[in-house]
Structure 1
Amino acid sequence: MQQESAEVIGLKVLAWLASEEEIFPVFLGSSGISAGELMARAGEVEILTAVLDFVTMDDDWVNACAAATGLDPYEPMRARQALPGGAQINWT
């Protein structure tokens, strides 16, 4: 996956996350970013990376996001891997 495609997926996931009344405040609290700053920086790779990292922590969130956005449930993780710092770790 190309970085540009990964960023588009990240934006879709961010839009879904922002619409989730229970999960969105948890993201804001854990990331330390305000809603206003998030809106201003939404297109930055670092923000999209944080959003994808957060959402992919919970399978239920991933599945809910996929159902709401029409994404394949594997796309958020694939997108994360395509962004800087997302390469799979080889422990050998």
Structure 2
Amino acid sequence: MTDAASMREHAEALSISALGFVASDPELLPRFLAITGIDAGSIRQAAREPGFLAGVLQFILAHEPTLLRFCEATGTPPAAVGQALRHLPSGDTSYESSI
């Protein structure tokens, strides 16, 4: 994957995988909902908002044990999560200039 579009697609796919990981964990989901202020019934709608997927990766990255569990469960190198974040809207300030 060398072009920006395919990198973003990969980042989105990783974020969706991370959301599934969070949603399936009975300890992580309530914490994610509390931190984001989203109720469980609104996750699908919120997922359509710019920045939501970046927020999921930020949530994973904010707690090293969670990051390591996610990476182990998905076979993802931990550094790849941070790299994916940079290719999503609201992942960092350079996203806008890379479009």
**TM-score normalised by the chain length of structure 1:** 0.83
One-letter identity of the residue aligned with 1:25: P
The answer (yes or no) to whether the contact 2:18–2:70 under 8 Å persists in 1 is: yes
One-letter identity of the residue aligned with 1:63: L
Residue 74 of structure 1 aligns to a residue whose secondary structure is: helix
The answer (yes or no) to whether the contact 2:50–2:90 under 8 Å persists in 1 is: no
The answer (yes or no) to whether the contact 1:10–1:49 under 8 Å persists in 2 is: yes
How many equivalent pairs are there? Answer: 89
Deviations 1:7-53 (A, max 9, x none): 00000111101111111101101101111211334354422111111
Tell me, yes or no, if structure 1 residue 59 matches structure 2 residue 64.
yes
Mapped partners of 1:65, 1:51: distance in 2: 12
User: Matched residues, percent identical?
Assistant: 31
Pairing of 1:12-91 with structure 2 (within 5 A): 12-87=17-92
Partner of 1:8: 13
Name the CA shift for 1:74/1:25 in 2 (closer, same or farther; >3 Å). Answer: same
CA RMSD, Structure 1 to Structure 2 (Å): 2.0
Name the CA shift for 1:32/1:46 in 2 (closer, same or farther; >3 Å). Answer: same
Which runs of 5 or more residues in structure 2 are unaligned? 95-99
Name the CA shift for 1:86/1:46 in 2 (closer, same or farther; >3 Å). Answer: closer
Mapped partners of 1:40, 1:88: distance in 2: 24
**TM-score normalised by the chain length of structure 2:** 0.77
One-letter identity of the residue aligned with 2:61: T
